[in-house]
Amino acid sequence: MDLLQIDTTRKDHVRRFVQLPLRLYRASRQWVPPILSDVRLQLNRQKHPYYQHSDADFFLAVQNGEDVGRISVLENRNYNDCHHSRTAFFYHFECNEDPAVAAALFERALTWASARGLDKVIGPKGLGLLDGMGFLVDGFEQRAAMTMMLYNPPSYPAFAEAAGFVKEVDFVSCRIAAEQFTLPERIHSIADKVKARGQLRVVTFRTKAELRAMAPRIGQAYNQAFVDNWEYIPFTDAELELVTNDLVTIADPKLIKIIMHQDDVVGFLFAFPDLSAALQRSKGRLFPFGLIDLLREYRRTDWVIVNGAGILSQYQGRGGNALLYSEMEKTIKQAGFAYADLTQVAETAVQMRRDLENLGGVPYKNHRVYGREI
Express each pLDDT in 79-92 by its tens digit. 999 899 999 999 99
Give CA separation, 98 vs 68, 104, 121, in Å.
9, 10, 22
Indicate the helix (H) or strand (E) that contains 108: helix 99-115
pLDDT the model gives residue 130: 74
Give CA separation, 357 vs 180, 265, 292, 310, 361, in Å.
12, 27, 36, 17, 5
Give CA separation, 159 vs 21, 153, 293, 330, in Å.
17, 11, 36, 42
Tell me the whole-structure pTM to 2 decimals: 0.92
Give CA separation, 259 vs 193, 223, 254, 283, in Å.
14, 15, 14, 36
Mean pLDDT of the chain: 89
Query: Rounded CA gap, 150 and 147, in Å?
Result: 7
**C-alpha 230: how far from chain center:** 14
pLDDT at 98 over 90: yes
pLDDT at 198 over 90: no
Q: Give the angle subtended at the CA of 309 by the CAs of 304 and 314, to the nearest 5°.
A: 160
Query: Rounded CA gap, 156 and 95, in Å?
Result: 8
Positions of CATH 3.40.630.30 in the chain: 2-169, 176-364
Nearest partner of 130 among 249, 21, 16, 227, judged by Cα = 249
pLDDT the model gives residue 258: 87
Which CATH architecture group holds 176-364?
3-Layer(aba) Sandwich (3.40)
- 60 contacts 105 by C-beta, under 8 angstroms: no
CA dihedral 347, 351, 353, 359 (to 10 degrees): 170
Give CA separation, 111 vs 17, 107, 125, 373, 374, in Å.
20, 6, 18, 12, 9
- 153 contacts 21 by C-beta, under 8 angstroms: no
pLDDT the model gives residue 223: 76
Q: Using 50, 70 and 90 to split pLDDT, how confident is the model at 231?
A: confident
pLDDT the model gives residue 322: 84
pLDDT at 28 over 90: yes
Query: Rounded CA gap, 13 and 45, in Å?
Result: 14
Q: Is the peptide bond before 124 cis (omega within 30 degrees of 0)?
A: yes
Work out the average pLDDT over 278-300.
Answer: 88
Nearest partner of 19 among 40, 48, 4, judged by Cα = 40
pLDDT at 23 over 80: yes
Q: Using 50, 70 and 90 to split pLDDT, how confident is the model at 330?
A: confident
336: phi then psi, degrees, rounded to nearest 5: 85, 20
Query: Rounded CA gap, 327 and 321, in Å?
Result: 10
End-to-end CA distance of the chain: 24
- 128 contacts 257 by C-beta, under 8 angstroms: no
Q: Look up residue 372 and give its amino acid.
A: R
- Other beta carbons less than 10 A from residue 117's beta carbon: 9
Nearest partner of 310 among 274, 270, 264, 368, judged by Cα = 270
CATH topology of domain 2-169: Aminopeptidase (3.40.630)
- Strands (E) across 23-108 are located at 55-63, 66-75, 87-95
pLDDT the model gives residue 218: 79
Q: Are strands 55-63 and 201-204 parallel, antiparallel or unpaired?
A: unpaired
321-334 and 185-197 helices, crossing angle to 10°: 110
